[in-house]
Amino acid sequence: SRSPLLAARAQVARRAVRVPNAPEEGEREVVDGPDGPILVAKLAGSYYAVDATCPHLGLPMKRGAVESTAAGPRLTCNFHNSCFDMETGSCTRWVTGALGFENDFVSGIMGNVGNPKSDIRAYKVVDPGDGYLWVETEESEES
């Protein structure tokens, strides 16, 4: 019989990204994924991972606010305030201002620039207990 650690490692997807430094509560780490940077955060005791590029203008969200809210874990783009649910990747607010400030004039202009409202990808985070976290970038198949 295999050890629990080996069994957990076997469940990690064939394509996964290692997170060398597990973030502390309320903090984040950014790792390079196959399709761009992935932001990994620990909120309310759980780990979440999402694309770290905003679909609006393709700007980085590495410094965006990560917070636990009543509606769940949230990432806010630090450029035009779009918000994303870190559990599902769903966009919950789209282009409402700039640099953290709400502004109807700016959101009216910036909302008409770039891509239409869209979600980001959320990833499964696996903690096999070996001191590292893994972000699954492809669906795993149970073996």
Q: Encoding tokens for residue 99?
A: 């640099």
Q: Encoding tokens for residue 51?
A: 């694309």
pLDDT of residue 32: 95
Which CATH superfamily includes the segment(s) 4-136? Rieske [2Fe-2S] iron-sulphur domain (2.102.10.10)
pLDDT of residue 13: 42
Q: Encoding tokens for residue 39?
A: 């932001």
Low-confidence ranges of the chain (pLDDT < 50): 12-13, 143
Strand order in the sheet with 133-136: 16-19, 133-136, 125-126
pLDDT of residue 101: 67
**Cβ atoms < 10 Å from Cβ of 57:** 15
